[in-house]
Amino acid sequence: MTAKPKGDKREAACRELRERIGAEKVRDDEITLVTYGRIRQGFDTMWPFRKPSLVVFPEAREDVVETLKIANRYKFPVTSVGTAPIMLGTTEGGIILDQRRRNRIIEINTDSGYAVIEPGVSFDGLTSALRGTGFKCSVGTMPGPGTILGQALGRGSQSFTTRYLNVIVDLEVVLPDGTVYSTGSSHFKNVGSHLRYGPYPDLAGLYTCAYGAMGVITKAAIRIHPVNEASRIHFAGFDNYSDALDYVKDLIDNNIPEHTFIWNWHMYLTWPLAPSDLEAVMPQVLKSDIRKPPEGTPYNLVSSLLSGYKEQVEVYEKVCAKVAQKYHGRVFSDEEIEKRFPATMAGFRQQYGDYHYRESVHWSKGRFAGWYVFAEPKDMKEIEKFAVNEFVKFGKGINPVNYYSHPFDFGRSILLRISGFPDPTDIELRKKISKKFDEMYDVALKKYRAIPIRPIGSDRAGTYMDVLRRIKKALDPNNILNRDAGLFEEGEL
């Protein structure tokens, strides 16, 4: 880790910043600094406390440009963050660039199907704005107040990722020297954000999963999708993951669902819980073995959003039923789901009916410990068994063990995201889990050809990381951007 900037340098940078962008956008009071000192996954004592020197709240793109230029000149580390839990490490003595005040929805283009947003726009903000437009955006498993860009840049799991690898069409980026450019079609004067790349290489990809290390995003165009004449969620239950995955693949291969998710029973029962349901459902789940659902409770529930013209959806439903039978599954009617798993149904109704989040207390169980991998379908069947068995070894103290799994890019790659909820104050257990996860990533890569969703150390990525390092050095020669943030290991540049 780079040494903390000295006091005189800090004061000079702070003074200059205040003059250039306005004092009200720059905070260095002790209370602000300590409350931003441990924002990784909440105030989590498992991670180092790194008090910034300044927290900057830009209100315009130019504020970001000025901040980066000054930071670059003083070689001040900058970490760009949004709202909601982050996976990023911040830098001791650095600047935190909190773009929450930049929350305008600049354009909703229903002709081409994209929305241009500032980095502070939340899922709640965009899903509200889209009501009545006949369009919807992809939603995922983050809380509604979470920023869209935060999740999109991390290639998070979202509804339309069944079809597309991510939701980004175009990004406006500021580099440490103050250069501003757009990665897609909007870089050309008077051209909208309809095309991700062309005639040049796809540079938006450079900022996806880069965790802010390559540039600061100040604007983004994301995909939005038409709300079709008819839509409904189809449910099918399966006794094992293998059958559920074959079912999902079959549907995707035949262009049936808009998107489709496989949920394990711990997750579909507890994810959408409101506080009022918590006591009724959670106690049974907490003492259960994830591998053995109660009689009549399917091990996996597959939700498939079917949409299109009314006639089309009716046919899709019949196809889903036929395919479910082919893979030993059982169709669950809305009435049955409503009766047996009311919280589940309420969650799906909100997410797929209103196209926004169920405000649940799922995450309040504690900080989750999550393990995420991508693999080809046949490998994922083995990985699911492996991961579930490893999670069972942690004991019931980490229940519920929630997982969901779904295709990306029409099923070329399958995601499995499995997590447990250890007591957040049990640091020893959480460290043990974290260590175990690293071992599991190794096994998953070597034995099952699975790629982790987050960086796992440059020693395992070889020349890929070499190239990234070269690009990083060219764009950010002073290494000021998100230097402890996850793409590169601390201090490795």
Question: Where does this chain bind another protein (CB under 8 A)?
Answer: 24, 27, 29-32, 34-39, 42-45, 49, 51, 55, 57, 83-86, 98, 100-101, 122, 124-125, 127-128, 131, 143-146, 274-275, 278, 354, 356-357, 359, 361, 363-364, 366-367, 424-425
- Nearer to another protein by Cβ, of 150 and 237: the residue is 150
- Distance between CA atoms of residues 212 and 369, nearest Å: 23
CB of residue 285 to another protein, shortest distance in Å: 15
DSSP state of 186: G
Q: How far is the CB of 272 from another protein (least distance, A)?
A: 13
Q: How far is the CB of 359 from another protein (least distance, A)?
A: 7
Q: 140 or 215: whose CB is closer to another protein?
A: 140
Least CB distance to another protein at residue 484 (A): 18
User: CA 355, CA 348: separation in Å to the nearest integer?
Assistant: 9
Q: Give the amino acid at 235.
A: F
Which residue's entry shows tokens 């504020």? 63
Label residue 378 exposed, middle or buried (CB < 10 Å: 0-12, 13-18, 19+).
middle
Q: Is the CB of 27 or the CB of 406 nearer to another protein?
A: 27
Nearer to another protein, 42 or 113 (CB): 42
CA-wise closest residue to 388 among 399, 376, 377, 375: 399
Tokens, residue 311 = 């006639």
What are the residues facing 173 on neighbouring strands?
Answer: 181, 217
Return the number of the residue (344 or 360) whose C-beta is nearest another protein.
Answer: 360
Nearest to 62 by CA among 22, 93, 2, 94: 22
Using alpha carbons only, how large is the chain's radius of gyration in Å? Answer: 23
Q: Least distance to another protein from the beta carbon of 12, Å?
A: 23
Q: Which residues of 37-61 are buried (b: 16+ CB within 10 A; e: fewer)?
A: bbbbbeebeeeeebbbbbbbbbbeb
Instruction: Specify the residue, 89 or 407, whose C-beta has the smaller distance to another protein.
Output: 89
Strands 230-238 and 369-375: unpaired
135-168 burial code (b ≥16 CB/10 A, e <16):
bbbbbbbbbbebbbbbbbbbbbbbbbbbbbebbb
The 3-state DSSP class for residue 47 equals coil
Helices (H), 228-309: 241-253, 265-270, 275-286
- Beta pairing, strands 54-56 & 95-98: parallel
- Cβ proximity to another protein: between 45 and 179 the closer is 45
Helix (H, G, I), strand (E, B) or coil at 19: helix
Nearer to another protein, 69 or 356 (CB): 356
Beta carbon nearer to another protein, 72 or 360: 360
- Cβ of residue 366: shortest distance to another protein, in angstroms? 7
Report the nearest approach of another protein to the CB of residue 351 (Å): 12
Q: In the complex, what is the shortest distance from the CB of residue 274 to another protein, in angstroms, rounded to a whole number?
A: 8
Closest separation in Å from C-beta 31 to another protein: 5
